[in-house]
Amino acid sequence: MNAVMELEIGPGPESGSYLVRVLRSVGGGEPSETITLDLDELVDRRPALEASVLLSSIAARRVVPDTEAAIQDVGRRLFESAFTGSVASAYRTSIAVASERGTSVQIALRLNAPGLAALPWEALYDPETQTYLCRKEPLVRNVPTPHAATALAVASPLRVLAMVASPRGLPALDVDGERERLQSALEPQIASGRVELHWLEDVSWEGVHHSLLSQEWHVLHFIGHGTYDVDTDEGVLALVGRDGRADYVTASSLADLLDEAEPTPRLVVLNSCQSGAGGTTDLFSGTAAALAYSGIQAVAAMQFSISDTAALAFARGFYTALAYGRGIDEAMRSGRIGILGMGRGTLEWVTPVLYLRGEGARLFDVVPVEAPSASRSDASAQPVQPAASVAGEPEEPATRGQRRKAIIVGIIAGVLAVGGVIAAFALRPTDGGGSDDGGSESTAELAVPLAIDWVDVGLYCTLGDEFVIEVSGRGWLDSTPESQIGPEGLTDGERPEDRVLADANTGSVIGKLNTTPEIFPVGEGTTYACPAQGDLMLGVNDTDLADNSGEFGAFVTLNH
């Protein structure tokens, strides 16, 4: 369990001043400092910052790219303002104590002055350690609540109700492509029986309402258009109206709609532009903040527009961590790390925002299941029909009073991904159910440490069998933060002399059979047809393993 350092930032004694108070910290004490912050100037820089973040996904990399310089400058100013004097001392002490205990420190920000929510706190940059806080520690925006949160006991799979809203009159979305991307991101968890994905066909107010009433859902994942209405100072999402055009739903109305579910979904995913943006006059006006304020336990959103590739990477890291029982704060960080794996130049990891209601970061107490049968795999992607019927029989609804006692919902407004894997996966090969043509499958989960030559997966294939390999996580090729890599390794072509396999990136994941000399590239994932019989081995494309650290997590399916 992570230690917590909670900061409250609210109005100060004078105009333009703010009071920073440490409400709790593992380092002890509750110091406070009065600071000044040019709020208007920082808010005015938001459009330029958003442009920099999006540009970073295609810009050429430099030592510190121009696009990063803007983000780093704002992040440094926010850090030096909030973490100053005795507050800074409490922060350093908390980090040191947590490090000795082998845990992380959740940085929880309670922003009690309206304009503060519009600032990109996820860019907080510590110039002393030259690190972005949200990439090293879980960072959340806290919404206080008088009721303690408890994890919902869930027998796998997590049931996800997903929808793509592409109304006429707005830029058209690639509905099939959006579905395929999310399906691809969740495929390893679907195949293992940890996640069950259903698609809602009728993405209207009535269609969503009917689905929420019909079945119990743990997660609601929205893909579509969102914006910020400056006139009403409130976030809005675009559902599909009866005429096929946009039906703009305010955050407060959406909260009321979700409240119809029995129980309310613990997690709602809103993959929409600016669903995490906050207003400058209403403290809880942003879509994500309004949902958390209205009773949703965790709301993950996007404070800037986000590219498709970043959204997919975030979803992979985020959902994988959740499916393995990680806390929502850790899952959010796993999603950021997933985005970071796209390449060293990307800044889109700053885009996701997490609002957490109360102190409980663990939304689900996930009970593992046996390997799924073919019927489960087939059902996992089935559509949810509008109004007429929803696949499956509805469960007996709980009373509203019972729901009020148990509700601690998590809404995630943002594309969430699969990146953080359990630090040490237990190797658990399992046999799946047979298919109609007599085939069968086996699966294994394992860690691939960067400091070890080869790891035996524990699966044996014969000629014609097929391995499907999915990899996530992070590691380092030396002791510096800059050496951090994902499963794709060094994507800029560096250190070719250290490669085991010349045609694959240095540090990337590679594979082989123990009976043949052939080595093949794996990266984040691949499908490999066995040319002979043998045991599958996975490793890292690096001949110098001495200074390596960290590990990747692999999920392997063997199709016979």
Residue-wise pLDDT for 8-67, tens only, equals 999 999 988 999 999 999 877 889 999 999 988 998 888 888 888 887 866 433 334 566
Give the model's confidence band at 493: pLDDT under 50 very low, under 70 low, under 90 confident, else very high: confident
Tell me whether the omega of the peptide bond preceding residue 372 falls within 30 degrees of 0, making it cis. Answer: no
Predicted TM-score (pTM) of the model is 0.64
Give the model's confidence band at 466: pLDDT under 50 very low, under 70 low, under 90 confident, else very high: very high
Q: Tell me the C-alpha distance between 388 and 68, whole Å.
A: 50
Residue 182 has pLDDT above 50, yes or no: yes
Q: What is the pLDDT of residue 430?
A: 39
**Residue owning tokens 């090969």:** 429
Encoding tokens for residue 10?
């609210």
Domain range 442-559, CATH class: mainly beta
431 neighbors 524 (Cβ within 8 angstroms): no
Mean pLDDT score of the chain: 81
Residue 423 has pLDDT above 70, yes or no: no
Asked whether this chain's domains 152-367 and 442-559 adopt the same fold, the reply is no
Q: Tell me the C-alpha distance between 497 and 361, whole Å.
A: 44
HSE-up (13 A, CA, CB side) for residue 424 = 0
268 or 498, which is more confident: 498
Residue 479 has pLDDT above 80, yes or no: no
HSE-up (13 A, CA, CB side) for residue 482 = 7
Residue 447 has pLDDT above 70, yes or no: yes
The yes/no answer on whether domain 152-367 falls in CATH 3.40.50.1460 is yes
Angle between helices 251-258 and 205-214 (to 10 degrees): 30
Residue 393 has pLDDT above 60, yes or no: no
Q: Is 482 exposed, middle or buried (0-12, 13-18, 19+ CB in 10 A)?
A: exposed
Residue from 300, 420, 298 nearest 363 by CA = 298
Domain boundaries, the chain: 3-137, 152-367, 442-559
